[in-house]
Chains A and B, each alone.
Chain A
Amino acid sequence: MSREAAVDRDELLGLGDDALILSHRLAEWAGHAPVLEEEVALANIALDLLGQARVLLSMVGDEDALAYRREERAFRNVQLVERPNGDFAHTIVRQLYFSVWQELRYRQLAPLLPLAAKAVRETAYHRDHAEHWTLRLGDGTAESHERTQRAVDALWPYTGELTGPGGLPGEWLARVTATLRAAGLTVPAGPPPRTAWAAGGGRQGIHTEPFGRLLAEMQHLHRSHPGASW
């Protein structure tokens, strides 16, 4: 337990909320994915993330109270993970940006945090999945290329929060840039912005407009039937 205390509560909460919220977003693909194999893949990634969230939130407090009874401003996830799924390319690019960061962060934390040492191996598969799909879509048809480029550009402003203070600017940027270039995609100009509402807001409890609707759906059952069990 003393080793776990080496990672502070805010960081555990941020990592736990990232995993929880992205898990929920990915689970929204159930019944809607373009092919069965991808439906299964996205659900499995969601399941890994949910498992990580349960361990991380349980280190902070009661996992159910934290997931189901907090208001929007109390969540500490980065804004990137709450962004709506959009089309399949949008989901894949969000996963690429996030998984590359999460794998690097878990690797840094592995000596201090048993969950990170374990989950980094799962995250490596998520990142691998996102990289493969980025290559296929970016280097695929004219339409898949265009949709993927649109996602790359639309989600880029949300990456500032990953690469800011305490983030991993160099390694993250190098890895993501290499994948986008290999896929024939244009890397947005300049480093990810760290200005205004899109940078660092999530970790301070400031979220984007679609997040409220996500929470309403995620928390509705628990709030409507407190204490219910199967």
Chain B
Amino acid sequence: MTGREQARERERAQEPGRAPGRARGREAELYAVAGAVPDPELPVLTLAELGVLRAVRLTADGGAEVELTPTYTGCPAVETMADDITAALRGAGVPRVAVRTVLTPPWSTDDITDTGRRKLRAAGIAPPRPGGLLTLAIHCPRCDAVDTPVLSRFSGTACMELRRCAACREPFDHMKEI
């Protein structure tokens, strides 16, 4: 599968009540519980909308194994995400939860769902452009103007860059494509 097909596959998998692969019933239910956990740094998004929750599987001993992928390798939020997922699944009656970090395939901003992108914009963050369309202008999330020069290639977190809108003069973060 190409990267974009994988992204679409994951997008479908992130619909409520569905989990990747052949997950059914209880696993899908637990996937929805873990996927609804808010991102610790961008709490307007859920982990499912951010596209970092890869799988939730039931184990033979009645516990759950979760696969989580980091946005950036050094993202300090991963440990908080793992703790929050563990707490949410325990709350749903799972006695033992193991969260495993996986790197393959690497997370891409294409893994953010359409709902996630809308929520980012509503929160004042310009969403990443879809892969392969990096010549598109970056619109100001407030006034939608397209003249938005870069102030700095990095911002409050590694995944953002700082821009300023030439029309409304407001600075804003843009989530960089990766």
Contacts and interface: CB of A to CB of B under 8 A. Distances in A.
Interface of A: 37-38, 40-41, 44-45, 47-52, 54-55, 114-115, 117-119, 121-122, 125, 128-129, 132
B74 interface: yes
Interface in B141-164: 151-158, 162
A48 B103 contact: no
Contact of B154 (A114, A121, A129): A129
B2 interface: no
Instruction: Name the 7 nearest CB pairs between A and B, nearest first.
Output: A51-B74, A51-B73, A37-B152, A41-B154, A118-B106, A114-B103, A44-B158
A114 B9 CA distance: 21
Contacts, number: 66
B103 A122 contact: no
Given A40-B154, A45-B154, A132-B153, A55 B72 contact: no
The interface residues of chain B, by DSSP majority, are classed as: loop
A41 B72 contact: no
Contacts of B72: 47-48, 51, 122
Interface string B51-81: 0000000000000000000101111100000
Contact of B73 (A48, A129, A132): A48
A115 B73 contact: yes
A50 B153 contact: no
Interface of B: 70, 72-76, 103-107, 151-158, 162, 176, 178
B67 to A, nearest CB: 13
A54 B70 CA distance: 13
Nearest to A52: B73
Given A48-B158, A115-B103, A121-B178, A55 B153 contact: no
Contacts of A45: 154, 158
Contacts of B107: 118
B146 to A, nearest CB: 21
Given A115-B103, A121-B178, A48 B74 contact: yes
Contacts of B156: 40
Given A55-B103, A114-B103, A117-B103, A122 B73 contact: yes
A47 B158 contact: yes
A57 to B, nearest CB: 12
Contacts of A50: 74
Contacts of A54: 73-74
A145 to B, nearest CB: 22
Contact of B152 (A38, A52, A119): A38
B153 A128 contact: yes
Contacts of A117: 103-106
Contact of A129 (B75, B105, B153, B155): B153
Contact of A44 (B106, B157, B178): B157
Contacts of B76: 47
Given A51-B74, A114-B104, 19 more contacts: A37-B154, A41-B154, A44-B154, A45-B154, A47-B72, A48-B72, A49-B74, A51-B70, A51-B73, A54-B73, A55-B103, A117-B105, A118-B106, A118-B107, A119-B73, A121-B106, A121-B178, A122-B73, A125-B154
